Amino acid sequence: MIPSSDEIDEATRLVLNAALADAKTTRILMDAVTTNGKYRFVERFQRIERYHADDASHRKTAIYVDVETTGLDVANDAIIQLAIVPFEFSSDGRIFTVHECETWYEDPHRPIPVLITELTGISDSDVAGKTIDDNRIGELLKDAALVLAHNATFDRRMIERRLPAFETKYWACSREDVAWENEGFRSHSLEWLAYKQCQMYYDAHRAESDCYMAVHLLSTVLPKCGKRCLEMLLASARCKTARVWATGSDYGTRFVLKSRRYRWGDGANATPKAWWKDVPEDQLATEVAWLTEHVYEGLSCRAQVQRFDGRLRYSDRADKVALEPVPSSTPAEIKLC
């Protein structure tokens, strides 16, 4: 309802309230108010069951997953909620039917931290004695060509520790596998992208809402390249990843490596103690050329590389892939979608 004001009489408010009850009229009013650029409307997201009508396109099924957990320690924290939203998609990134979310609570057998309850709304009483249905998870995975999450580096590791059946699936990440920065988005958080890309808000940190919102985000068209978000994600998912390790780099190059988004590897899981970065395999030669010029000062590039696809991407098991010297070989495309 529009609030009372000395400047708006009762009759005017009644007319506006009636207009806002109709979606088409509401859009006309919103466009009129925002024309001068001073105002912006943010719409509450409502679940959409179908984005494109059925046609002759070959479709596959993906499942979007999200977890709420007792914390961020993959090795020691536990899942307290898992949500899965299956949806149908075509190879060009169109989304068709979005199915009902299936969600489960699971008892972590420890008190849920107060901060987690405040963030997610999940309390000890919600999860007491509850468990994820492993059999139903297996049924959902059977037909899934791809598993997606918005922070797959975290979600995949948490989920696979509890549900190893996910290990055999190709994974992709709506946060990392869409070039958000190139499209002008300074943050990759789902809440921020929902606001900036979709002009929407939703109940964040609720697993079911996160999944539906993320699927909707993937249905939208990017502002600069004009591609669907899912189309760009699928292109990334089809390519192998090259994990480049700047082994033997001098200490003084750490700042230039950080500015290029390299991260420090502490040697865990028998990996090198060196700066590393993931790039699409078809960009490996470019990355090696940059390292040779800026890190190894024109000398022989001493970097090493691991190569893997979506079956290992974002998982701990990628750490165990054999290291090999650069340069790269011709990249291979993965026929998953």
Residue pLDDT, tens place only, 288-315: 999 999 999 988 899 999 999 999 999 9
- pLDDT one-digit tens code per residue, 230-262: 999 999 999 999 999 999 999 999 999 999 999
Give, for 84, the enclosing helix (H) or strand (E): strand 79-90
CB 225, CB 219: distance < 8 Å: no
Confidence check: pLDDT of 334 > 50 = no
In the CATH hierarchy, which top-level class contains the domain 59-238?
alpha beta
Query: Do residues 148 and 128 touch, judged by C-beta distance below 8 A?
Result: no
CA–CA distances in Å: residue 333 to residues 80, 235, 281: 36, 9, 10
Phi/psi for 180 (5° steps) reads -60, -40
Domain boundaries, the chain: 10-41, 59-238, 241-325
pLDDT digits (tens, 9 = 90+) for 109-157: 999 999 999 999 999 999 999 999 999 999 999 999 999 999 999 999 9
